[in-house]
Amino acid sequence: MDWKNNGVKIIQAGTLDPNTPQTPGMTRAAAITHATTGASKLWAGTVVVNPGAKTGPHHHGELETVLYIVRGHARMRWGNNLEFSAEAKTGDFIYVPPFVPHQEINAGTVEACEAVVVRSGQDPIVVNLDIETPEPASAGSDDYPFHPEP
């Protein structure tokens, strides 16, 4: 095996790809993709969530998702009616199982929340859900949804 060309890949901080689905109030950048590394079973990148920004209810189909909070505070709501809630702070991990309805929220009002995101697949699966939430989405509008369909 040619490990020099088919081994470890380093993705430099300044080379992340912003050409991923974007959401108002949030900035995503891809690091580990098939195009950048040849990865076939996972995707990794970053997300910066502006103060007070929230998605609407959604899930990511069969994908598993892990978030590592680099800076700030994230609040996650989940459940059929988003009836469960917990917060994560800098250094915490969040695991979202497949098909779990959830909502991502920057729990801070001043500081951006920054996270590393890892998913168990390459496809940007997002299923927007029409369910009530105690925290209506602030990101997006009727013309540009909070989590664009891929």
What's the pLDDT tens digit per position in 55-80?
889 999 999 999 999 999 999 999 99
47 in a structural domain: yes
Average pLDDT along the chain: 88
Q: What is the pTM of this model?
A: 0.85
Q: E strands within 36-131?
A: 43-49, 58-59, 65-71, 73-78, 84-89, 93-96, 102-106, 113-119, 127-128
Whether the per-residue pLDDT at 111 is higher than 70: the answer is yes
149 in a structural domain: no
- Looking at the structure of the chain, the number of domains it has is 1
Query: What was the pLDDT predicted at 61?
Result: 96
What's the pLDDT tens digit per position in 132-147?
888 766 654 444 344 4
CATH number of the domain within which 24 lies: 2.60.120.10
